[in-house]
Structure 1
Amino acid sequence: MPDTPSMTSSEIGAIWITYQQKTMLFQMLDYFINKADDDEANEIMSSLKGDIQPFITQMVSMFNEEGIPIPIGFVSQDVNIDAPKLYDNGFDIMFVRLVKEISSGMHTLNLTMVYREDIILLFRDLTKMTQKYYDDCTRYLLKKGLLPRAPYVSIEKSIEFVKTNNYLDGAKLFSEKRPLNAVEIAHIYRGVESNVTGMQMIFGFAQVAKEKEAKKYFNKGGELAKAIIKDMSELLLQNNIQVPTTAGGNITDSKVPPFSDKIMMYCISLFCSFSLGGNSIGTAFSTRNDLPLKFAAYMKDIFEYAHEGAKIMIQNGWMEEPPQTIK
C-alpha cells in the first residue's frame, strides 16, 4: 500500500483550476513586467512571477505522479510582450491586486476540499504567498495615491440591539429607508472598487480583441460593470457617503493586442466567478431588504454574461475541459 494516497476527485479539481489561474497570471505578468516604467512595480511583479513558477512545477509533478494529462492552461504564445502599452498609471498593480484578491478566496475554498497532507501544504503556501503580494500591491497603490481608502463614517457611541422589524425595511415604496450600516457599506464599497478595475480592464480588452464576437462581448461587459458601478455609487450617495474614485489605470490608444482572445476571455470568466461570489456574500450580510434584491439582480446579469462568454469560448475552441471521469 503506497504511503501517499491517490488524489481524490476534489483534489484533482482544485489543483486543475489553480493551474489554469496560475498559468494565466504567470504569462500576463511577462507583458506587464516588460512594460513597467516604475521600478517598485517591476520588482513586485518580477518577484511574484518568480514565486509562482515553483508552484506550477509542483502541480505538474502532482499530475504526472497521478498519470493525469498536464493541462494546457496558458502559454507564452498567449502573450505578446512586444505589444505597446495598453494600460498606464498603475493599472498593472491594480490588476495584480484584484487577481490576488480572487486567489485568496480560491485557496481558502480549496483548503476545505483537500485531504492529502502535501496538497494541504500546497494551498497553505499559496495562501501565504497570495496574502504577501496582496499586501504589497495595496501598500504600493496607497503610496502612489492610486487606491482610495473606504470612507470614514460617524458611528453611534452606544451599543444597540434591533428592536423592530423596521430595521429590515428598505423595499416598501412609501417608507423611508434606514441608513446603511457599516457592514453594508463595506460590501457596496468593495463592489464599486473591484468593478472599476474590472471595467478598465475589459474596455482595454475590447480595444484590442481580434475576433469580432469577442470584441462585442468585452464591450458588453464593460457596460455591465459601468451600470453596476453607477447603481452601487447611487446607494452610497443617498447616504452621503463618498464614492471611490481613482486617477490610475487609464487605457492608452494602442490597438495592438498584448494578449490572445483566449486568455482575455478566460480572465473575464475568472472575474465573473469572483463577482458572483462577492455579491452572494454581500447578499448574506446585508439586512436592509432592498440590498439583497439588488445584489441578486447583479448576480443574474453577471451569470448570464458569463454563460454567454462560455459559449463563445466553446465555439472558438478556447475552453479546456477539466479532467473527465471514465463512464
Structure 2
Amino acid sequence: MPEKSAITSSELGVLWLTYQEKTMILRILEYLIEKADDEKANEIMTNLYGEIDNYVGKITETLQNEGAVIPVGFTAQDVNKEVPKLYDNGFDIMFVRLLKEISMGLHSLNITMSYREDIVLIFKDLTAITQKYYNLCTQYLLEKGLLVKSPHVSMPKSVEFVKDNSYLGGLSINPFSEKRSLNTVEVAQLHHSIESNVSGLQMIIGFAQCANEAEVKSYFNDGAEIAKSIVKELSETFLQGGIQTPQTSGGNATRSTIAPFSDKLMMYCTSLFCSFSMGSGSLGTAFSLRNDLPAKMTIFMKDIFEYAHKGAKIMIKNGWMEEPPQMEERNQMLN
C-alpha cells in the first residue's frame, strides 16, 4: 500500500472543527437521551449517538497518526444528565434536526477542502449519516404534528419570463410602489428562516433560564430578542402577501432553571447557530429578487454578526474559546 501523504492545513482545520462540533453534539445527545419520554425519539437519538461516536474515534485516530494534539472539545464536564428536563413537547428531535441541518452544510463544505482519500471518505460518510438522521427527525416530527410544511401553491400551467424591472419591486425601484407577490423560491427561503428561528428561540430561552454566569444569561436574553424580531418581521412579510405563517404547538422550554450543559457548551452552540444563520441569510439574499427582501436579510445578518462577535468576546474572557491549530509564525522564526 502506498504511504499516505501528510494532511494539509485545510484538512487539519476541518478535522479540528468537526471534532468540536461532534463532541458538543454527543454531550447534548447524552442529556436528551436520558430525558427522552418517547420510545421512537430515544431510538433515533441513541442510534445517532453511536454513529457520531464512531467517527469522533476515527478523527481522533487520524490526528494521532499525524502527531497532532487532540483538541479538548466538549467532555463529560460539560453535561449533567441528572438535572430536570429543560425542554419538552418534542423539542429534543426538533433540536437534533436543526443540528443535523447545520452538519449537512458543514460536511459538504469540508469535502471541498479535503484531498486525502481517507479524510474525504470521513466527510462523505458523515454526510450520509447526517442526511439519514435529518430525514428520520423530519418524518418523526411530521407524524407527531410538530412540524409545519411550507404553504401549498397552485401548480404553474405555463412558463413565464420577467418582462421588466418592476419585477424587482420594492426599495431601489420605487419604495411606494405595490410589491409583487412572493415567488416560491422566496417563500422557501423565508419559511426556512422562520422555522429555524422559532426552534432557535426555544433553545436560547432554555439556555437563558439556566445559564450560571449573569453576563451569559444576559447574552442569551439578547439572542432571544433578535430571534423574536426576525420571526415577527418575516411573518409580517408572509401576512402582507396573504400567506399563512408557520406555527407549531410543539417544542418549548420547561420551567427548569438548572443547567444541563456548561456555559461554555451553550455559548459554543449559540455561536454555531449564528454562523448557520448568517450562511442561510446569505443564500436568502442571493436568491431573493424582490429588493425589499435582501434589504431585510442584510439587516438581520448585521445584527447576528454583531451578536456573534459579542459572544466571542465573552468566550475569550472566560477561557472557553479553544484556539484552532495555527500556521507557523514565519516572521518570528526568521527574526
Paired residues for 1:175-190 under 5 Å? 175-190=177-192
- Counterpart AA for 1:315: K
Q: Distance in 2 between matches of 1:55 and 1:287?
A: 41
Give the RMSD, CA atoms, in angstroms: 1.0
Gaps of 5+ in 2: 330-335
Q: Which residue of 1 aligns with 2:228?
A: 226
Q: Distance in 2 between matches of 1:287 and 1:225?
A: 24
Q: Which residue of 2 aligns with 1:36?
A: 36
SS of residue in 2 equivalent to 1:301: helix
Paired residues for 1:141-152 under 5 Å? 141-152=141-152
Shift of 1:155: 4.2
Q: Distance in 2 between matches of 1:188 and 1:228?
A: 10
Q: Distance in 2 between matches of 1:224 and 1:280?
A: 17
Q: Which residue of 2 aligns with 1:20?
A: 20
Q: Which residue of 2 aligns with 1:116?
A: 116
- Counterpart AA for 1:322: P
Residue 293 of structure 2 is aligned to residue 304 of structure 1:
no
Paired residues for 1:1-327 under 5 Å? 3-171=3-171, 172-327=174-329
Q: In the TM superposition, what whole-angstrom CA distance separates every residue of 1:221-240 from its partner, at most 9, and x where no partner exists?
A: 00100000000101111111
SS of residue in 2 equivalent to 1:323: coil
Q: In the TM superposition, what whole-angstrom CA distance separates every residue of 1:63-95 from its partner, at most 9, and x where no partner exists?
A: 111111100000011000001001000000000
Shift of 1:130: 0.1
Q: Which residue of 1 aligns with 2:332?
A: none
Q: In the TM superposition, what whole-angstrom CA distance separates every residue of 1:204-257 from its partner, at most 9, and x where no partner exists?
A: 000000000000000000010000000010111111111111111111111110
Instruction: Give the total of aligned pairs.
Output: 327
Q: Distance in 1 between matches of 2:189 and 2:25?
A: 26
Q: Distance in 2 between matches of 1:290 and 1:216?
A: 32
Q: Distance in 2 between matches of 1:174 and 1:294?
A: 16
- Counterpart AA for 1:165: N
Q: Distance in 2 between matches of 1:240 and 1:157?
A: 22
- Counterpart AA for 1:252: T
- Counterpart AA for 2:292: D
- The question of whether the paired residues in 1 share the 8 Å contact of 2:170 and 2:176 is answered with no
Q: Distance in 2 between matches of 1:111 and 1:59?
A: 14
Shift of 1:57: 0.4
- The question of whether the paired residues in 1 share the 8 Å contact of 2:16 and 2:324 is answered with yes
Q: Distance in 1 between matches of 2:149 and 2:289?
A: 24
Percent pairwise identity: 62
Q: Distance in 1 between matches of 2:327 and 2:165?
A: 50
Q: Distance in 2 between matches of 1:129 and 1:314?
A: 33
- The question of whether the paired residues in 1 share the 8 Å contact of 2:210 and 2:256 is answered with yes
Gaps of 5+ in 1: none
SS of residue in 2 equivalent to 1:191: helix
Q: Distance in 2 between matches of 1:155 and 1:282?
A: 23
Q: Distance in 2 between matches of 1:95 and 1:297?
A: 26
Shift of 1:2: 6.4
Q: Distance in 2 between matches of 1:23 and 1:248?
A: 27
- Counterpart AA for 2:189: H
Q: Distance in 1 between matches of 2:29 and 2:105?
A: 20
Moved over 6 A (4+): none
TM-score between both structures, scaled by the size of structure 1: 0.99
Shift of 1:326: 2.0
Q: Distance in 1 between matches of 2:242 and 2:155?
A: 14
Q: In the TM superposition, what whole-angstrom CA distance separates every residue of 1:148-175 from its partner, at most 9, and x where no partner exists?
A: 1111123442210011011111212221
Q: Distance in 2 between matches of 1:168 and 1:303?
A: 27
Q: Distance in 2 between matches of 1:226 and 1:277?
A: 19
Q: Which moved more, 1:54-63 or 1:167-176?
A: 167-176
